[in-house]
Structure 1
């Protein structure tokens, strides 16, 4: 944060071409207001943009063709920000259960820069996302706070899927409508990063629909000069990822989608006598590392792996455990560190926030 003397100097001297502070403040207000109009129940529809190739070299399965009737763009969508993928410690916000979560306040209190907002799942029509599948008439209280978070230097991505409800790709059988549903969510929240949390096996058609939609959105983002990084959040155990999840990652990549990281969900369990409760986490990460490298088809190394221990209660993670996790992820230069399940205490969160950015 700039000190008071720097603020005073900034008031007296302004670099040529730099907009006045009043104009910057007005722009920040407009961003917050525009973001706040994003609805919990995002409109569904299709688009006339050409879809990705319909043939998978891996499976030979053709993706369903998109519907041709267009839907107008949301006029209130904020311009997407130029952001990279998450880094350091990422706080997960369950926006369905806690829609009034104060993003800017949490960022200042816990010294956290990155947040993931979830879970966006399919609504009643199958092709319209909402927090835990539900909508709200008057807008989204989480989105109302995004402008202030970003003005303070923070950032947030979106998480589709999750432990309950149906992920959009499984519920929406039309590739065009599915792509438009993801597109509207990304644009409405100005997201530069999206995550897909997949629990359990899914059929091949679902995998290919999702992959085609991701590839289309990433091509559009690249053409517009803005980032759209994609990660998958998957459960991992002593033997790493399931065979189905490895197959899903390979099929998604071969369809043209670029996956920047795989976030591993590993539950924290009680330690045996003389053992460490974090040892199973290290084992799961070590086992998943070569699987992820093979599935993504590139030598991503550790930077392509993120870690999210799953807590049953706040007491599952002590400050000492948190320091070990930070040391482990920092030493291996992993993509980011997060948690799922119960929220750790504020003290533990501040320790986790010390993870290398």
Structure 2
């Protein structure tokens, strides 16, 4: 179970529970409540949890889950353990596609299918899980249009959210609500009803869905619009994992405060606002329970507000505060930016999606925040039977790749592979970092620089070979051994399109050569 799943389960057990001594003094209420439950039947099981339930307060759970800007270029290899120190990540952002407001897309640039084919997103998520990590998907963000804005039908909106949840098999989602349109009353109501509908559907199928609200704050806490978004969720009886405060871009509200001081003030205020919001919804939260529904997300380095720069000391201060008050979640925007910009970046006061704008070592912020994760169980390592019991060592099972279920060609030690080529080896997909021949993709190495292959992720269930793009006769002139072709010329050979990289004559397109860089022909991937 992931930290978010455990946190969600704990929140459900707490249910806004009363304090132990108060429940003992009012035990007759528990008896009355039991009678009511007998009359109401099973409907109460899925109802909104109230203060009259369990008095036991669960041990605090915390998790560090930084954001990844999935569509930023160059692509951040979050699945690569050598680059992404944190294995638990929030992937952003899913928004409406440009063509259909009810169709989810990544950054309005990739449909879910396009993200799988162009960015290999599904496989990379599977690889992250292979190494013990988990993902949460974030809807919304500052750019583009959050699904609830344009998708006016609640049923279609719920289906759009569910398509993403089902596609990536996630048990937790993040709703990043920014801007006037995203926080309007009708949009907030529609979003809340759709999310509650999805939660109920998941419960009926035996699954849970933890829901986080990510909202802007000032040093005084949630803005009026943020409080309204929260209230709409509680009115719809959405079971929230918590509210994640965007401790960034304070602007004029900072009013002379340091960022560290503003963060402390904002988070303290949010905890109090949660108590008030739940009280209005008929649920009592203790102070400890409120803090366990609070998250914090700073924008590392240079913020969008030119005068605000969240430095390494600010990060250390926030970590101590989060640990002291037992916040449930700590994030940051974003791991893509967790590095210095370098000497070729002209103006560090201009925010970059790929660097922080301050002097730092790569992954410095991540290393500061990683210790925040707590409440996780480290699996025990079973002793070797060959050493401890004298039993013979188990015989390794030979892994055989099936061309019929492999999305790419199976690695062949006799063939050369150009940079960027993807192959399958032992049920995993690898990509060549440079030209290579004879280098087995899974040969053990001590450093990533020692292998020409990058592990992308496992072969996914239901995959099959990608068809070679064949073209109709006449799409391009048929290749001729006697014709002289110049760079850019296109031909058709055995139904496949090729384009000349340079001057050539008599060299057959698609012919396997010792060095793919030496062939004058390249495959046309689309007409």
1:257 positional shift: 1.1
How well do the aligned residues superpose, as a CA RMSD in angstroms? 2.5
Distance, in Å, in 1 between the alignment partners of 2:63 and 2:268 is 20
Q: Which residue, 194, 197, 216 being the options, matches 1:213?
A: 194
- Conservation of the 8 A alpha-carbon contact between 1:246 and 1:292: no
Q: Where does the alignment leave 5 or more consecutive residues of structure 1 unmatched?
A: 1-85
1:286 aligns with 2:268: yes
1:139 positional shift: 5.3
- Other-structure match for 2:92: 118
Q: Which residue, 115, 123, 132 being the options, matches 1:144?
A: 123
- Conservation of the 8 A alpha-carbon contact between 2:221 and 2:269: yes
- Other-structure match for 1:15: none
- Conservation of the 8 A alpha-carbon contact between 1:305 and 1:335: yes
Q: TM-score of the superposition, structure 2-length normalised?
A: 0.48
1:108 positional shift: 5.0
Q: Which residue, 105, 110, 125 being the options, matches 1:130?
A: 105
- Other-structure match for 1:349: 366
Over 3 Å counting, the alpha-carbon distance change for 1:269 and 1:213 in structure 2 is closer
- Other-structure match for 1:80: none
1:92 aligns with 2:67: yes
1:326 aligns with 2:301: no
1:295 positional shift: 2.0
Q: Where does the alignment leave 5 or more consecutive residues of structure 2 unmatched?
A: 1-60, 340-362, 375-527
Where 1:104 maps in the other structure, the secondary structure is: coil
Distance, in Å, in 2 between the alignment partners of 1:237 and 1:295 is 18
Q: TM-score of the superposition, structure 1-length normalised?
A: 0.69
How far does the alpha carbon of each residue in 1:59-90 deviate from its partner, in whole angstroms, 9 at most, with x for none? xxxxxxxxxxxxxxxxxxxxxxxxxxx94221
How far does the alpha carbon of each residue in 1:16-73 deviate from its partner, in whole angstroms, 9 at most, with x for none? xxxxxxxxxxxxxxxxxxxxxxxxxxxxxxxxxxxxxxxxxxxxxxxxxxxxxxxxxx
* Larger radius of gyration between Structure 1 and Structure 2: 2
- Other-structure match for 1:301: 290
- Conservation of the 8 A alpha-carbon contact between 1:91 and 1:114: yes
- Conservation of the 8 A alpha-carbon contact between 1:100 and 1:141: no
- Other-structure match for 2:39: none
Within a 5 Å distance, the mapping from 1:179-258 to structure 2 comes to 179-201=158-180, 202-258=183-239
Within a 5 Å distance, the mapping from 1:4-15 to structure 2 comes to none
- Other-structure match for 1:76: none
Distance, in Å, in 2 between the alignment partners of 1:229 and 1:305 is 14
- Conservation of the 8 A alpha-carbon contact between 2:300 and 2:311: no
- Conservation of the 8 A alpha-carbon contact between 1:90 and 1:115: yes
- Other-structure match for 1:160: 139
- Conservation of the 8 A alpha-carbon contact between 1:268 and 1:316: no
How many pairs does the alignment contain? Answer: 269
Where 1:209 maps in the other structure, the secondary structure is: helix
Distance, in Å, in 2 between the alignment partners of 1:235 and 1:199 is 7
